[in-house]
Amino acid sequence: MTGLNASIIILTKNGGANFPRLLERIYNQQFDGAYEVIVIDSGSTDGTLEVARKYPARLHQISPDEFHHSRTRNLGAGMSQGKFVVYITQDALPLDNNWLQKLIDDFSTLQVAMVVGRQVPWENTKPPEKFFYHYNFPAFKIVVQSGSAGYYHDNVFISDVNSAYRKEILLKYQFAENMVMAEDKEIAARFIEAGLTINYEPAAAVYHSHDYGLKELFDKHLDFGLAIRQGASKLPKTADKPGSGMAGYLGAEYKFLRTNHYGKWLLYALVYETARYAGLFMGKNGLMQGSTARRIRQGHD
């Protein structure tokens, strides 16, 4: 390989204790080619900028008011010089030093517009959230195309937490800047509609998970419900069959908790999933707005 093959883009704001480990792991990648790292920071005050300056990353600063999930990712893509644009969030960590190579190797044909890697939950994640990743990010490869016989769990695994794009295609389609969140799922739906392919590559794995409280979980899903109305729902869905949908998810979660000796979490899991689905329902139906939507409406996002 010659030239600059990949541009790794990290959006930061107070990256915390994980950020130094992330940059160290990224700069230790064993990659058959050249790559750059672009850090776009939106107002860190915790030492994130100082950490970024210890590495040969291109650091670009914007104000907190300028940050937007889609617009800022489009900014990074426009700044990039690589053939492929890679996104990883500040709270993720590649499992190994072959993560980047495994992502880029999956662009096997020109039809592959996007490659998504696996997310493995951190060990200390609460069991209900740990199940979410166990259920939606499998250990086997998936090829997402228009007209596929089936789609794995509504393609929830399509995520910019850990993803790569063919730059020329990304610049052509761009992330929709009207989206409150889930810009990854909205652009993926347009890729599939255009006859392009998305690969899920489990070998390109990162540690990543959230540890939301009930109120934060509810609020996040209010935003996601709005994103569904804005276009994220256009992703192909798994064909309806017995055991699918919400009932299938809850049944699988119950089995996971019992099998893994998390029985004491069963009641909490019920409350946790109630908060998740209630937020999603109210957001989808416009009954309430989440925090991100409120900031956008007020001109602060």
For every one of its 301 residues, what pLDDT tens digit does the chain have, with 9 covering 90 and above?
346 799 999 999 999 999 999 999 999 999 999 999 999 999 999 999 999 999 999 999 999 999 999 999 999 999 999 999 999 999 999 999 999 999 999 998 999 999 999 999 999 999 999 999 999 999 999 999 988 767 888 899 999 999 999 999 999 999 999 988 899 999 999 999 999 999 999 999 999 999 899 999 999 999 988 888 887 778 777 766 545 678 889 999 999 999 999 999 999 999 999 999 999 999 988 887 766 654 444 333 3
User: What pLDDT is stored for residue 296 in this prediction?
Assistant: 46
Let me know: does 172 contact 66? Beta carbons within 8 Å: no
Q: What confidence tens digit (pLDDT) does each residue in 156-211 have?
A: 999 999 999 999 999 999 999 998 889 999 999 999 999 999 999 999 999 999 98
Task: Report d(CA 229, CA 178) in Å as an integer.
Answer: 11
User: What pLDDT is stored for residue 291 in this prediction?
Assistant: 62
User: What pLDDT is stored for residue 165 in this prediction?
Assistant: 98
User: What pLDDT is stored for residue 181 in this prediction?
Assistant: 87
Whole-number Cα distances in Å, 230 to 9, 68, 161, 235: 25, 15, 20, 12
Whole-number Cα distances in Å, 27 to 61, 87, 111, 204: 21, 15, 29, 16
Let me know: does 202 contact 115? Beta carbons within 8 Å: no
Residue-level length of the chain: 301
User: What pLDDT is stored for residue 2 in this prediction?
Assistant: 41
Residue whose tokens read 């107002």: 43
Task: Report d(CA 148, CA 280) in Å as an integer.
Answer: 27
- The tokens for 231 are 């276009």
Q: Which amino acid, 36?
A: E
User: What pLDDT is stored for residue 292 in this prediction?
Assistant: 60
Q: What is the pTM of this model?
A: 0.92
Q: Where do the CATH 3.90.550.10 domains begin and end in the chain?
A: 4-207
User: What pLDDT is stored for residue 300 in this prediction?
Assistant: 34
- The tokens for 12 are 């930061």
Task: Report d(CA 210, CA 174) in Å as an integer.
Answer: 27
> Is domain 4-207 classified as CATH 3.90.550.10?
yes
R_g (Cα) of the chain, nearest Å: 19
User: What pLDDT is stored for residue 297 in this prediction?
Assistant: 43
Name the H helices within the chain: 18-26, 48-52, 69-79, 99-105, 127-136, 167-173, 183-193, 214-230, 245-259, 266-284, 291-297
Nearest to 104 by CA among 82, 127, 126: 82
- The tokens for 227 are 């994103």
Judge residue 205's burial from the number of C-beta atoms within 10 Å of its C-beta, 0-12 exposed, 13-18 middle, 19 or more buried: buried
- The tokens for 115 are 């490659």
Alpha-carbon torsion 74, 78, 84, 89, what sign? negative
Which SS3 state, helix, strand or coil, does residue 167 take?
A: helix
